[in-house]
Chains A and B, each alone.
Chain A
């Protein structure tokens, strides 16, 4: 087995070494360099980017980003689980239904966000409809708040939850569920006591795939949130664009990665290992 395993590891390891570790090393170097006058980096070496990161301002933003991302992930899991279960049990239509979950995501993210902005704005479809049927008198403030940001994140990353969930739920033996039913378990109990524990690897993988990109997201906060609040992803983005402070951007990113690593390790310990 050892031989075969080594060959199996080779392509992945090569890709990671060349296309991830080498660039990562550059990021680490950047974080210890000085800001170039017009972007880029220059000598001398310094750790000042790191001393700037540990500041209540950025830590507060980080904390906010973590809970917004965690909430979005939880909602994705709640929404995604029954959907994955339904698809997995749809017999010969499974692939079709799975593909139909993915289809909307082959339209640009930006364009879908614009569509949501149109639905949610004061003169948008939802408010116009509610006004027309006299349910409300004033347009509801649906857009440009944290709720809208979370909606955008959930919509944007739901398939990242559904796919791994599907991959595990699909494997479950239907006879297991019948057995539970025969033993008198109600459907809800079957789901909670049998299906959920058995699909834990999928739930964890999905949560990771949703939580991490949410943490780094910036466009959703800018457009759905109207730029009135920042996520840590916006701070990073700004350093590489308008502020042109690459060392600071690199330092925040490394901090972000460290936090995310910590979070996933905690999840990983509790359940099984994720990877």
Chain B
């Protein structure tokens, strides 16, 4: 059983990583076209020279972190409350938000912001993008966290209450630690969805908030763009190193 799972998992990881290997190879291709014509470092040099790309990366990270923190916090609280006692109105609206096609989310949020901002004299910017991302990430968080809650035994919390803990203390010291893997999974999901979102972002982004996916879509619209490949490799390697480092620290 164990061996089968291990074998299976290595095949699954290979499936996930094969396209990245292709990207990696093409980031060193001397031609702009997806036909191999020799080795070059050119595209990496271009990436480091491109300030706009750096700006876009920073924007994307700020947006994804902001949206993840807001959505994960409020989503976890909401999931816990719904688990305690059903809240049909909120549950149904979360459902619906999950079911809304991306382009509709984008267009409706754009219309909403434009309408509201006409009276408030504000403009679209990074903050509107964060808000938009929170709105579609929230349902993901609630869904994942509540799936975790449903597998949990509520008797621990009841025991804590019997022993004189306040509700907050019971939540904080008993339920929350048990929820942790669910919260981590939810946050990861949020970050991933937010970091890669193009459709909604491109609609609600303002003058000062071009994100990495927006730049990538613009650059790669004509097909493979070696600079984008190089950039993707850099991001993957940087985040991969971060992950390995975190894994090592955790094991200590």
Contacts and interface: CB of A to CB of B under 8 A. Distances in A.
Instruction: Decide if A and B touch, CB cutoff 8 A.
Output: yes
Interface of A: 1, 4-9, 11-13, 15-16, 19-24, 26-27, 30, 79, 82-83, 85-87, 89, 92-93, 95-112, 114-116, 118-119, 125, 155, 158-160, 163-164, 166-168, 170-172, 187, 190, 198-199, 201-202, 204-205, 208-209, 212-213, 215-216, 218, 233, 236-237, 240, 246, 249-250, 253, 256-257, 260-261, 264, 272-275
B205 interface: no
B150 interface: yes
A8 B77 contact: yes
A16 B220 contact: no
A224 B184 CA distance: 32
B102 to A, nearest CB: 6
Interface in B203-252: 212-213, 216-217, 220, 223-224, 228-229, 232, 235-236, 239-240, 243-244, 246-247, 250-251
Interface residues of B, number: 102
**Interface secondary structure of A, over-half rule:** helix
Contacts of A172: 151
Interface of B: 1-2, 4-6, 8-9, 12-13, 15-20, 22-23, 26, 34, 73-75, 77-78, 80-82, 84-87, 90-91, 93-105, 107-109, 111-112, 115, 131-132, 134-135, 138, 140, 142-148, 150-152, 167-168, 171, 181-182, 184-186, 188-189, 192, 195-196, 198, 212-213, 216-217, 220, 223-224, 228-229, 232, 235-236, 239-240, 243-244, 246-247, 250-251
Nearest to A239: B103
A250 B111 CA distance: 13
Given A15-B134, A125-B22, A163 B73 contact: no
Contacts of A237: 103
Contacts of B81: 5-6, 8-9, 12
Contacts of B138: 12, 15-16
Contacts of A83: 8-9, 12
Contact of A1 (B1, B9, B84, B244): B84
Contact of A109 (B91, B150, B182, B196): B196
